[in-house]
A and B are shown apart, each in its own frame.
Chain A
C-alpha cells in the first residue's frame, strides 16, 4: 500500500495543482456565462497575456512591483475587451458576441506573436513559490502546494462577496433575469464590468501559479488551459462557481492519473477531457451543479 502511494503521490499532486489553476480560469468562464450567457473565448488568451506581461515587467522592475502590476494590467485588459468588443453588441444576437469573442482571442494571440517574435519566453522565477519541496516520495515546487489552498480561499471569498454584498446581489439578480433587473434600476453595465474584473483578476492569479510551474509562455499558451477550464465549467454546470471549481479539480486529477496509467494510456490524457465534455453534454447537459435551463441556448 505504501509503495502504491509513494509511486502515485506525484501524479496526485500534479493533478491537484493543475486542477486549482484550471479552477481559477474556469471561474471567469462560468461567471461571464452566468451573467451574459456568453462563452468568453478570449479568456484563455487573457490568461496568456498576463503571463507575457509578467515576463516583460520583471525585466524592468522588481518582483514586488511587477506582480501587482500584472494583476492590474490583466484586469484593465479584461475591462477594455468587454467595453470595446462586447458592450456595443449588447442588443445583437448572442451569436455575434460569441464571434466577436473568437475575434478577440485571435487578436490577442497574434499580438503576442508579434511582440514575442514567435519565440517561447522564459517565465521569471518567483522566489519561494519556485523552491523545491519534498513531500513523502515526491519532489515538487512550493507552488503545487500553494495552488489548491489559494484556490479554495479565493473561491470562498468570492462566494461570500456574491452572497453578502450589494453588487453581489445585483450580480445574482442579473444572472436570474437580465431585462427585469435592468427595469428594477440595476446598473447593468457596471455589474457586467465587475464580472469581467473578477474573472480577469482570478485569471491573473492563475497565470502566476500556472507559469511558475510550467515556465514558458508562447502565444498559444492560453488556449489549452482555456479549453480545459471551459470543459471544467461545463462539467460543473456552467454558471455555477462551486461547480466550475470541482469540475476543474476532477479534470486536473483525472488527466494526471491517466498519464500515470502506462504508456498505452498516456496519449489519451487530452482526449479524456474532451470525451468527458461529450459525455456530460449527453447525460446531464446542465452539468453537476447546473440550474435547470428554463429557456435560452
Chain B
C-alpha cells in the first residue's frame, strides 16, 4: 500500500439536539458520523457512497476542518489536523480543498469569476503575488475548460456545468494535495455530468491530486474511484477496491444498494434480481442497537441486535456484517 496522505481513525461527529429558548437542554445527539476509519493514499480516489442522511457530507465537513470532530483523529501527512492552529492551520487549508454539490448556491452571485477564483490568493498571498493574480486566474480558467476571456463575468451568465467548473478552478487555485468532492456532479444533466467527470479525471493526473469522492450515484463513483467505502447511518459498513465492492459485495446493504440501481438496458428487465429493502433509514438520533442495518435487513437474527459487527476482513475485504457472504448476480452495469 502506498503512503497514506490522509489517515482517518475512529472519527466521530455528534451534533447535540437541544430544546428550550433561554435554558438549552441537550436531549440527545444526532450521530452523524460515528466511528469512521480509512486511509487515503497519494494519487488515489476514495469513493464514499450512501443514502441521504448517512453522514457523507458531515464527513466532508470534518475532513475540511469546517466542523470539529467529537472524537477521533484525522492525520494529514502524519499530522493531526485538529491539533493545528494559526499559521499551521492556514497552511493546511491550502492543501485540502473542497468542491461543493450545488453550483448555484456555492458561488457568490455578486462576485465576478475572477474574484471568485482569485479570492483564495487574498488569504494566501504567498501563492500568487498581487500582480500575477489575474494571469493565474486566467490560467486556472483555461485548465478547467472555461474561456479565460470570461474573467469579468458573473456566475448567472454560466450554465450549471460551467459553474461547477468555476468551483473546481477555485478549489485548484492553491494547488491542493487533496480535494474533497461532495456530490460534484449530482446536480448536472447526464451529458454535462460526463464532461465534469472527465475534467476531474484529467486534473487528477495533471496535478497529482488525491480525491475523496462523495456521491450517491453508484455508477459515477465506480467510474472514478480506486477504492469505495459504503456508509450507512454514520458508519462505514464495507470498504474495498472498486472490484471488491461492485463485483463481490459481502454486506447486505451494499448488495441491496447495488441491486436497486436501475440499469440502462431494457433487455435486463425482469431478469435481474433486485433486493427490495423495506422502510426508511432509521433516525441517526436513536440508531438501532447492534448492527444499524438490522431493521431493514433480511438476514437479521438475534445476534445482530445484541452485538455490533466490526468492520474487519471477511471474505477478502473489510465488511461489517455477522453473516457476510457473497450474493450471486448483484452487479452494476
Task: Indicate whether A and B interact.
Answer: no
